[in-house]
Amino acid sequence: MPELGSRSSLETPLAARFDLSSPGVVILKTGKVELGQGILLALRQIAAEELDLTPDAVVTVSGDTRASPLEGGTVGSMSVETSGREVRDAAAELRAVLFDAAARKLGVSVSEITAEGGQIFAAGNPSKETLWSLAAEVPFDRVQRAAVPKSAKLYKTVGTSIPQTYLLGRLGGGAFIHDQSFDDMLHGRVLRKPHPDARLESVDADAIGGLGVWVVHERDFIGVVAESEQALATSMGRLERRCRWSGIPDGGPQTPLDILANARVTEKLLRDDQGSSGANATEDGQVLSAVYSKPLIGHGSIGPSCGIATVFDSGAEIWSHSQNVFALRDQIARVLGRPAQEVIVRHRLGAGCYGHNGADDAAMDAAMLARAVPGRPVRVQWTRKDELRCEPLGSPMRISILACVREGRIAQWKLTTRSGTHIQRPGWGGQVNLLGPAAADPEFAATVQMDLPDHNGGSKNAVALYDFPQHVTYEFAPDLPFRLSALRSLGAFANVFAIECFMDELAELAGCDPVEFRLRHLADPRARRVVSRVAEISDYSKPCDAGFGRGLGFARFKNTGSYCAVVASVSVDETVKVHKLWAAVDAGLVINPAVVVSQIEGGMLQAASWVLKEAVPTDRTRLLAESWKDYPILTFAETPETRVEIIAGPEFPSTGIGEVSLGPTAGAIANAVTNVFGLRVRDLPLTRERLMKAAFEAE
């Protein structure tokens, strides 16, 4: 299924992609947005390569619903894979039509036309023509993609680590949406319901409003707009004390995993190889079973969500760090009762999110509040409490596996993974899926829909890449009482964690080295290469120093994307300390190696935080976290040393790398803990309490 709002490059005219109206500069228009992953630099490199330019000559207009092409969201680690391909094809077509125009004008064969730095050469001789002088003669309404892109053997820019100079602008803070300011800008905030089922019984709004303060109240939606942040903070404090809520359920000892275990589920068979459906114990094999779990987790974004909106009589203008500005535009237009073309959404940098965090909600909050003060910009910045309690979360998951090993190989394998939804983004399933509209109008209340077959959220990577007969079932739980949506790698994190831990357990059962055990079940040469290479660079076969353990994890993201193998070195002294992480990655044709390394490192560090620390605290269905004390994440002092090696694969198409390292890292750390601790802990996070419990039960 294509992304919401996506459109094939074959339907996109050159004018929607490129603007050559300013001599010396090619403006590349893209619907993809920068989240810290380096996508805009990569797209500039791709376009520059096809147009014989340096990347400095290419600038981007990104994530602007009025100026950018409709491309869908920046999601799924697919931007280089999909948009990169489209930009390459479009740039090749632009180059072809420009060269055709040059050949006609100079009276030579098109085969004699070349370019360098924007200047046109005929038979090796410089001419007075440039890409920009010829642009007036080019049919920019052309949509046919007939040109053939360059061979990778000719690349000069693609494949090089062009410095990310744009990062310098972020050091001063001015690059972020949080620092954006407008004349006459107001400040707003919404008081969130204390529980999704809560209802606002009464509020004394008259005691809050006043000069320079506006109270906005629609059913269960209530917020404040003020002239200053200080006045806003004071008014919000008063508002919270003057609201009376009902319908808040009682707390209790049940955890999200308890609720998941007892939830109603819909089953979907993902794979059933002949003879594997039973996967029962047999007399001539060794049988092992295990259950793994991942808790309810959050994004842990360092910068809280922020949005700015101005509502006019003629429409609305929004600034947001949303991953899908077109879907957000459509939902804001729907809530405001406007045609989509009257709403403009422009992307601005946030602190990164890697999933559906509160960015879209903050923008919607700003739009709904701005209706009360037409013509004036309203800025909404969430508090840390808002971020921890109100953003969409990553679903808890439970994975059970049973396998039979015969003659050193896996003969049967049965895996069942259970999860809530991972795909409740704005507009998904025809719903708004944002908090403000749902509180204001029952029409916008969201209902959970099953993960679609072609968008395998909770089932992502549940089918192992290994070569053995598998029976894999996905149990979808639609009724979990938490706000759930996309979070980096979706279900792949927990599924790969479970599979890679179980592979180590089966290797031990078979009396085999974990690396060798994996290799004997891998025919894919690219998979074998990353596993073998990470074992080499980490000295996996050498004995660990006393007090240290080493573990391995591997996966191909979605079984169709990039390959990644990770080795972790850890020690355990009451708590787990990760000292070093090694990774080998094969992402096909690499556009910018330095960006690939930084993304793999980022994924490994976030996975380490999830494995060691993160779990949303709850009182049954109520979320409790208010600060980093309640939801700790990996600190700078706990950050391990990392080494990433890219295995060149330019003969293969580019694949995304933003999510591939998380599952393998989780498996590697957990396996390393078992290696040094001597006991297997199958429930994340691997906290001191869980280690102590495992040790106590083993006595």
3-state secondary structure 67-114: CCCCCCCCCCCCHHHHHHHHHHHHHHHHHHHHHHHHHHHHCCCHHHEE
Which has the minimum average pLDDT: 108-112, 209-213, 234-238? 209-213
The amino acid at 241: R
> According to DSSP H, which parts of 415-524 are helical?
435-440, 492-509, 514-519
Q: How far apart are CA 546 and CA 417, in angstroms?
A: 36
Q: Give pTM, 2 decimals.
A: 0.95
pLDDT digits (tens, 9 = 90+) for 648-688: 888 999 999 999 999 999 999 999 999 999 999 999 999 99
Q: Are 684 and 576 in contact (CB under 8 A)?
A: no
Q: What is the pLDDT of residue 280?
A: 53
Residues 6+ apart with CB under 8 A from 508: none
Q: Can you name the CATH fold of 9-158? A: Aldehyde Oxidoreductase; domain 4 (3.30.365)
- For residue 7, pLDDT over 50 is answered with no
Q: How far apart are CA 24 and CA 16, in angstroms?
A: 19
Count, residues in the chain:
699
Element (H, E) at 260: helix 256-261
Strand order in the sheet with 58-62: 18-19, 26-30, 58-62
Q: What is the pLDDT of residue 141?
A: 85
3-state secondary structure of 456: coil
Residues 6+ apart with CB under 8 A from 206: none
Q: Are 539 and 575 in contact (CB under 8 A)?
A: no
Name the average pLDDT for the chain: 92
Give me the mean pLDDT over the 359-372 stretch: 98
Residue with tokens 């300013």: 22
> And the tokens for 151?
């061979």
Strand-pairing partners, residue 215, are 224
**Which among 313, 293, 317, 286 is positioned nearest to 379, based on CA atoms?**
317
- For residue 243, pLDDT over 70 is answered with yes
| Structure confidence at residue 449 as a pLDDT band (50, 70, 90) | low
Q: In CATH terms, is domain 397-422+457-698 a member of 1.10.3470.10?
A: no
According to the 3-state scheme, what is the secondary structure of 160-224? CCCCCHHHHHHHCCCCEHHHCCCCCCEEEEEECCCCCCCEEEEECHHHCCECCEEEEEECCEEEE
Q: What is the pLDDT of residue 305?
A: 96
Instruction: Supply the DSSP symbol for 689.
Output: H
Q: In Å, how far from its chain's centre is CA 511?
A: 38
pLDDT digits (tens, 9 = 90+) for 403-420: 999 999 999 999 999 999
Which has the minimum average pLDDT: 316-325, 347-356, 425-434, 578-587? 347-356
Give me the mean pLDDT over the 162-176 stretch: 76
pLDDT above 90 covers a percentage of the chain that reads 83
CATH number of 177-244+302-390: 3.30.365.10
- For residue 5, pLDDT over 80 is answered with no
Where exactly does CATH 3.30.365.10 map onto the chain?
9-158, 177-244+302-390, 397-422+457-698
Other Cβ atoms closer than 10 A to 110: 12
In terms of Cβ atoms closer than 10 Å to its own Cβ (0-12, 13-18, 19+), residue 593 is middle
Q: How far apart are CA 469 and CA 471, in angstroms?
A: 7
CA-based radius of gyration for the chain: 27
